[in-house]
Amino acid sequence: MDQEPQYNAEGVEQLPLRQFTEKAYLNYSMYVILDRALPFIGDGLKPVQRRIIYAMSELGLSAASKHKKSARTVGDVLGKFHPHGDTACYEAMVLMAQDFSYRYPLIDGQGNWGSPDDPKSFAAMRYTEARLTPYAQVLLSELGQGTVDWTANFDGTLKEPAMLPARLPNVLLNGATGIAVGMATDVPPHNLREVAAACIRLIEDPKASVEDLCEHIPGPDFPTEAEIITPQTELQSLYRSGAGSVRLRARWHKDQGAVVITALPYQVSGARVLEQIAAQMQSKKLPWIEDLRDESDHENPTRLVILPRSSRVDVERVMLHLFATTDLERSYRVNLNLIGLDGRPRVKDLLTILREWLDYRFETVRRRLQYRLDKVQERLHLLEGLMIAYLNLDEVIRIIRSEDEPKPVLMQRFALSELQADYILDTKLRQLARLEEMKIRDEQTQLVEERDELQKTLGSKQRMKTLIRKEIAADAEKYGDERRSPIVARAAAEAMDEAELTPSEPVTVVLSEKGWVRAAKGHDLNPAELSYKSGDGFRQAVRLRSNQQAVFLDSAGRSYSLAAHTLPSARGQGEPLTGRFNPPAGQSFVAVLGGEPEQWWLLASDAGYGFRVQAKDLLANKKAGKAVLSLPAGARVLRPSVITDGDTDRLVAVTSAGRMLVIPANDLPELTRGKGNKIIGIPSKAVAERSEYVVDIVAVPQGGRLRLNSGKRHLNLRAADLNAYEGERGRRGNKLPRGFQNVDGIECEH
């Protein structure tokens, strides 16, 4: 609740700072949303754009006029309508002039208005000239016909239209982008003919669904020939919810063995694409490409040539790789957030947008017809007065000449209204004498016909529908064009695995106790015998191929991954993993694993909980890794164990209290993250106090043997010996023989 304003002794209002800042922020937020960032559903324009278009029409800068310096236009907008800076105003003007940004540009410009490569490379406003395009008439043609509400400009010296009377749903045709406070809008552009067809369909069939409208509007239509590859189902879902994304992919063809790219996605720079491909070539990640060329010119605005190394190169696959790794394929966010007729912003679906716009259009046309009807009736009323004056001309002239105040006399003598009397008195006597009955009668006849027609139209909903439908169809015919962005079903782009570019050689990845890592060639070495820094020693090693990923686990249960071929050589002492990753503060790296992506591993904590997981689910592309194993209070991460066959392998768990339990591996769930299920029963209090915990859990394949290490002694257990320790998952297990109840570790021997 707002507090009542407090006043000090001098009568100055005092407000709590919290209340003041909150109020100021909310006011600013609403201003940005309603007056800066979001377009209105009716004309599809933001206030600054509306003011520019209106100011240009007032300056007489129609499509038929000569171009005028942009500085003049901007000056007029700033001086009369726009309360902001000239840079912001000019930027808004530039956007409406760029045929690569707007599907149907509103401004026709001379000079440098930017380029697809760099839309912000436009010249200063003193070097560019502008006028309106023919399409701008869609927004302006009905302006002086009683169709708009006029509001005072920022300093109250002029009137400006609150909204423009759009004849077509410009908000969909040109799209809009804007960032407000706490919300944004991203409306993609559409094809005029398609949108007009959908409007006509909705007029004829008000019960049409989004799916019905999608028959006419299959998807957005960007000002580029690049392909829209988003599936139809996703596009329909986008139009149903008002939010989603659209994917665009460059167009290309083969020309004498070379790849020629002829169209790029919306607002993608050719230079940037070439830079991205060249960077991959430099880092030796594109061995299939020989050379790149930019052959773009005035005839071919986009012509990028890629030369393969030989004719044997699978060009299709290379292009799929480039689509996945460069801007040759891009995703565009769609968020149909608009200010509706109620003056509030909301994300709307396609049906709601078109319905609301048609409501706006119906009201605009009703106002236009009503305005014309009022004008016709007013003229008929005046003509009626003129006719009386003509029939009594001598008397009228006498009264005008002889009376001091002829107006009341005329009104009384001929039963005229004040309006009629004023009109007769404003007409010169010479013109009164020249009046012709035929002309007045003809004009009256024409106006009566027009009045009857207007009254019929205004009184009939069906006639209104027919009129609006005809107007939309006429505008579609006049301003419409063919679709530019074809909608094509394509296979998903897939980057070639880095492994394909890397030789597959055997390597042993070695992790030290302090978290240093290195990779040695081959599988024959003994990692424990490598040299380690003072105070450091061997922790764990895993045998991989150089084109595989090594996965590391930290003491918090997070996983991290690195390509094995990127690891430092075992000739040195390696490098710390903290240089590659950002583990949580105070955590250390405790294990390494890897292998084939489908390889199953056992992840467990020493609280006796664990689960099965595939190596591919442990891969993490972030420096911070990803949370995989949840640890109960006081628990630690155990060394992961390989599961060779989930159906036949058995899990052996040994606790510090000298108890052992054997369970089938398939009793554990297959998870990607979590705490897992209980393998062996240990009181949680004992784990938290570290009085009892699991020493190790290993997976033993069918027929495999187990070796228990206890100090300097060890015990070998065959598969038959393990049967004695079998039990249900989660039980306490059986006691190990005397002398082996203090187990240091267990190893599986095949």
Place of tokens 């591993």: 601
Helix (H) or strand (E) holding 332: strand 329-335
Can you say whether the dihedral through the CA atoms of 511, 512, 517, 520 is positive or negative? negative
The active-site residue, picked from 7, 25, 28, 127, is 127
Q: Which residues pair with 653 in a beta bridge?
A: 661, 697
Q: Which residues of 548-587 are buried (b: 16+ CB within 10 A; e: fewer)?
A: bbbbbbbbbbbbbbbebbebeebeeebeebeeebebeeeb
DSSP state of 33: I
Q: Which residues lie closer than 8 Å to 514 by C-beta, 6 or more apart?
A: 533, 535, 536, 576, 588
Can you say whether the dihedral through the CA atoms of 699, 701, 702, 705 is positive or negative? negative
Q: How far apart are CA 504 and CA 509, in angstroms?
A: 14
Closest CA to 661 of 600, 736, 605: 736
CB hemisphere CA count around 703 (13 angstroms): 3
Closest CA to 189 of 240, 160, 228, 162: 228
Structure tokens of 374? 């009022």
The answer to whether the beta carbons of residues 50 and 161 sit under 8 Å apart is yes
The answer to whether the beta carbons of residues 718 and 749 sit under 8 Å apart is no
Q: How far apart are CA 478 and CA 31, in angstroms?
A: 37
The answer to whether the beta carbons of residues 243 and 249 sit under 8 Å apart is no
Q: Which residues lie closer than 8 Å to 600 by C-beta, 6 or more apart?
A: 612, 613, 614, 642, 643, 646
The answer to whether the beta carbons of residues 614 and 629 sit under 8 Å apart is no
| Residue 239 bears catalytic tag | no
Structure tokens of 467? 């009129």
Neighbouring C-beta atoms of residue 460, cutoff 10 Å:
12
Q: How far apart are CA 274 and CA 278, in angstroms?
A: 6
Q: How far apart are CA 95 and CA 53, in angstroms?
A: 12
Q: Which residues lie closer than 8 Å to 427 by C-beta, 6 or more apart?
A: 386
Helix (H) or strand (E) holding 410: helix 406-414
Q: How far apart are CA 665 and CA 643, in angstroms?
A: 8
Q: How far apart are CA 144 and CA 339, in angstroms?
A: 24
The answer to whether the beta carbons of residues 635 and 606 sit under 8 Å apart is yes
DSSP state of 427: S
Q: How far apart are CA 451 and CA 468, in angstroms?
A: 19
Question: 258: helix, coil or strand?
Answer: strand
> So which residues are the catalytic ones?
127
